[in-house]
Structure 1
Amino acid sequence: MNLDDREELRRRIENDLLDSLDEELELEIEDRTYDLNAEGDAVARQESHAQRISYFRELFRLQGELVKLQNWVAATKQKAVIIFEGRDAAGKGGVIKRITQRLNPRVCRVVALPAPNDRERTQWYFQRYVAHLPAAGELVLFDRSWYNRAGVERVMGFCTDEEYDEFFRSAPEFERMLVRSGIKVIKYWFSITDDEQHLRFLGRIHDPLKQWKLSPMDLESRRRWEDYTRVKETMLDHTHIAEAPWWVVPADMKKQARLNCIHHLLSQFPYEEVERSEVVLPARVRNEDYIRHPVPQSMIVPQLY
């Protein structure tokens, strides 16, 4: 790798690390946090700052629409399952975080199941997922789902050929059954390139706050990129059904992927703003015999900041 390539890689990793900080108050992060050793870099930083402002403005607008969607779902007793699938480091968790950031967890909840235990492995394959399906007035976001069988389980040999074939017979019928029962099923596949996944894995390696995300399974998935491509194509071919189609989100650009996915998700519901009665803050009751006792100093959290 020549000097120019190394410098480009350094810049991309730096941008990826910066992006990990971009939650809701990152606009306060000053550009001088990073050394600007050239006028061109300074211009690029200025442009990047403007793009971040534009991103946050649109993100906040879409999150406002998500609040309207949440209120409509609760008021009209809708039920929906939203599935997020994709390669490791594709950005599923990032978009889920932005969707749920301002929503009521009693209405919109996230399901991220660990590997099945010994008992669950003897159950009907879909059984442990059924327990997490929504009741009326709920949105459930699956951060990975029953499609584990069509992906990691197939590639890593965690299921037999018979179990794999049965999944493709059962999954479409299972989803049709959910839809007939009144549950809306929306499925997203986050698609990133080989080069982008490589970059994001390097970012995790060099970021102490992200290293926990790298498991031995993640590293093995990197080695087996082509195997995952083949099973992904098979999965989309067998489970892209009219009742619950797949939607592919190009995700090499994280911020654009988040905005595009949220915008598309909103378009899948005929929601409208729910009228609410005006909230009036009641006056606090004050009793003459009320005495507030001081908290012992030994119980106070040290005021270091």
Structure 2
Amino acid sequence: MNRLGIFVDAGYLFAQGSAAISGATEKRVNLSLNEQAVITQLIQTADELSGGTPLLRIYWYDAIGHSGPSLDQKRLAQSNNVKMRMGTLNGSGQQKGVDSMIVIDMIELARNHAIADAVLVSGDEDVRVGVQFAQSYGVRVHLLGIASETDKHNQSPTLVQEADTHIEWGPDIVNSFLALRQPQTRRPVKAMEFLGDLSTEAADAGATAAAIVERGDPEEIIVKMATAQVDGLVANDLQALKAALSVSSATLPREFDGKLLGMTRDALGRDLTQEEKRLARKTFKACVKRK
């Protein structure tokens, strides 16, 4: 069959993509993916590499953490022409089972003559055997990497040699689908410090940050923390949250929920009560919907 398969190692794409746009490898929690933009870019690049071979589908290989799939993983799984293949994360946050799934899929699709071209986004030596077997069935394999000033050799040299063609995306392309979120500060934000920066309305009304804390008014701190976090969302996260909350307004995606509650806890200097957690989540979701 004259079809094209695209095989994406998400771990490689996020790690090297973040290095390309920021100069350092960032944690996944600090990265926002525009799912439709990366799908469009993958299909466009694959079309150029294969000379116009029709797409079979995109195979996206990632790992699920203990808390379940993230918002971008759920959105990708629901996207047209995308097949999610999910491995697991070990205790060190490393992907397990992803390379073997890539190899198996490449071999099976090639053996069954389901594809004539394959575009592979990866840098791992372990997937080289999949390239070799696919080529033995007549498949042309195009290796796609991500150029990084901090790691110019982020793909196995023997994997590069094995591929039929090899190109790299630069920072300008990566920036079209990947963005940095505001990282959560490692230094706890104290209520006095936070309100001193953000409570301009309270100051205008004659109430200082000190007075707010003295009178034991955590609700104002919680509301301001939630509002500030929504104000700091990158455009793609805001759009994705709006879509997610329109489907299920009761649930806040875990990667945003954890950051919201963690930073609010740091601001108050204590654990939140269940009622305070509900207030933080309600305020956050209301602010997202108003944007």
TM-score normalized by structure 2?
A: 0.30
Relative to its length, the structure with more strand (as a share) is: 2
TM-score normalized by structure 1?
A: 0.29
State the structure with bigger RCO (CA 8 A, min sep 6), 1 or 2.
1
